[in-house]
Amino acid sequence: MELSRAVAALLLACSAWLGCVQAVTLEVKEGNSTCIKAELSASFSITYDTISGTGTAQFTLPDSAAVDTGSSSCGTDESLSWLVAVFGPGHALGLSFSSNASLYSVANLTLQYNLSDSTIFPGANSSGVVTVVSASVGISAPINSTYRCVSPVAVRVGGATVTFSGMRMEAFMPGNDLSTKESVCSADTTTTTAPPTTAAASTTTAPAPTPAGTPDHGTYFVKNSNGTDCLLAQFGLQFNISYFSKSQNKTVQDLVNLTPSQTNASGSCEASRATLVLTEERDTTLSFTFTLNSTTNKYHLSGLSLLAIWPDMTDQFSASNTSLEYLRSSMGRSYMCKAEQTLIVAPTLSLNTFSLQVQPFGVITDQFATAEECQMDQDQMLIPIIVGAALAGLVLIVLIAYLIGRKRSHAGYQTI
């Protein structure tokens, strides 16, 4: 048995100034045939002991991660097959796969990290390599199908959390490329439980001005395999989030702005589903799922999920809702709302958006199509019109009064 080659390549070739997050492609081969292929992004959060207490290291799987041909294998009848990616000085992420006649699954996930790497683990009180294993990963799919999970999925392994996103993966592959048949993870399947058809009150205005200040405006795009833009979005975004604060030892309600310059966009576009995943500073993953109803040719924001591991959090924050009815517009149009909007996700999380414009479907020539504006903008458009009309009326009245007055005084002079 010989493993001839393994490849790690960049998947998304977005120009750097757009700030797209890269997915890594990993392949395990035997001879000329591929048995495991994975396209994914992964981020890690690891707590470790330091001289002065504990620290949390947060980093992403770099695009330089490569399959370790020595420890990866396609497996034999008795042994499991392994995908092991190595990166940096002595770090590794391993997935072992098992299968029966109908299903294959990730049997366990292994994470190996080198505490001597002081760029990732500054001030660690010990050195050397730590290996942690988790057997409950929850990734499985039918044989001859590709496991797909665009939404972020977090796996706890020892004192670490590995968060996968944008994942497409297959083991025990029948051919050299991922099967076209997909098995979609539950986080990706929108559970639209017949929402009430009244589109009214789907958005509500935030009542108070924001102490955190208005967030910066960011522009994000998702490209399809053609390299053309298939989803466009621009907005300023603010999290209104409640979590248990480590420093204050209590649950706090916090307003936090998304910083566009530190945010990378990725995602996917399909015929009736489009996803935008925003990753900020390795510790915040926000995903938007848009759904198109092909009968009515209307789309809306149907799902939102946030995974956050901020320094002041004791645990990873996670909130998601897949039955939302926000940002409704028509196919071939973009949705625009200049006014501030509040998107309620869960009791612990809502998002405030500012000057938002999105188009998740039917993007042509990398530009927004004509916008359908939200009701609040239409209402606000009315104000200048009303004020303008009132002013024009006032001017007219003054003018008439003046003319009448002039005529009278004129008549007065004539009688003298």
Residue 327 one-letter amino acid: L
Does 101 participate in binding ligand NAG (rule CB under 6 A)?
yes
**Strand (E) or helix (H) holding 394:** helix 375-415
Site string for ligand NAG, 104-123 (x = CB under 6 A): ---xx-----x-xx------
**Length of the chain measured in residues:** 416
Quote the least distance from Cβ 240 to ligand NAG, whole Å: 4
Which CB contacts under 8 angstroms, 24+ apart, belong to 211-217? 211/255, 212/238, 212/255, 212/256, 212/257, 213/257, 214/354, 215/257, 215/258, 215/259, 215/354, 216/257, 216/259, 216/260, 216/261, 217/260, 217/354, 217/355
Residue 388 touches ligand NAG, criterion: CB under 6 A: no
Residue 161 is a binding residue for ligand NAG (CB under 6 A): no
CB 174 within 8 A of CB 104: no
Q: Taking the complex as a whole, how short is the minimal distance between the CB of residue 368 and ligand NAG, in angstroms?
A: 17
- Give me the amino acid identity at 34: T
Does residue 135 bind ligand NAG (CB under 6 A)?
A: yes
Shortest distance, position 388 Cβ to ligand NAG, whole Å: 31
Taking residues 162 to 201 in sequence order and writing x for each that binds ligand NAG by CB under 6 A, - otherwise, the string is ------------x-----------------x---------
Closer CB to ligand NAG, 114 or 353, in the complex:
114
Instruction: Give, in degrees to the nearest 5, the angle at Cα 110 between 108 and 113.
Output: 170
- Which residues does residue 311 pair with via DSSP β-bridges, in sequence order? none
Any residues with CB less than 8 A from the CB of 196 and at least 6 apart, and which? Answer: none
Q: Does 90 bind ligand NAG (CB under 6 A)?
A: yes
Q: Which of 226, 365, 414, 415 binds ligand NAG (CB under 6 A)?
A: 226
How many angstroms separate the CA atoms of 412 and 121, rounded? Answer: 95
The span from the CA of 18 to the CA of 16, in Å, is 5
Q: Is 107 left (phi over 0), alpha (psi -120 to 50) or beta?
A: alpha
In the complex, minimum distance from the CB of residue 378 to ligand NAG, in angstroms, rounded to a whole number: 22
**Could you give the angle at the alpha carbon of 234 between the alpha carbons of 229 and 235, nearest 5°?**
160
Contact region for ligand NAG (CB under 6 A) — 152-160, 275-283, 305-313, 397-405? Answer: 275-283
Scanning 180-188, 280-288, 389-397, 398-406 for contacts with ligand NAG by CB under 6 A, the matching segment is 280-288
Minimum distance from CB of 62 to ligand NAG (Å)? 9
| Residue 143 found at the interface with ligand NAG (CB under 6 A) | yes
Site for ligand NAG in 393-412 (CB under 6 A): none
Q: Kindly write out the interface string for residues 40-79 of this chain, putting x where it contacts ligand NAG by CB under 6 A and - elsewhere.
A: ---------x------------------------------
Contacts of 240 (CB under 8 A, 6+ apart): 253, 254, 255, 342, 349, 350, 351, 352
Q: Tell me if 254 contacts ligand NAG by CB under 6 A.
A: no
Q: Which is nearer to ligand NAG, 180 or 296 (CB)?
A: 296
18 counts as binding ligand NAG under rule CB under 6 A? no
What is the number of the residue whose Cβ is closest to ligand NAG? 90
- The residue (of 108 and 316) whose beta carbon lies closer to ligand NAG is 108
Total binding residues for ligand NAG by CB under 6 A? 58
In angstroms, rounded to a whole number, what is the distance separating the alpha carbons of residues 402 and 132?
88
Largest CA distance in the chain: 123
Hey, how many other C-beta atoms are within 10 angstroms of the C-beta on 182?
Answer: 16
Residues paired with residue 280 on neighbouring β-strands, in sequence order: 263, 284
Question: Does residue number 281 form part of the binding site for ligand NAG (CB under 6 A)?
Answer: yes
Per CB under 6 A, residues contacting ligand NAG are 16, 19, 21-22, 31-32, 49, 80, 89-90, 96, 100-103, 107-108, 114, 116-117, 125-126, 129, 133, 135, 143-144, 174, 192, 206-208, 210, 224-226, 228, 240, 249, 253, 255, 262, 264, 279-282, 293, 295-296, 321, 323-324, 342, 344, 346, 350, 352
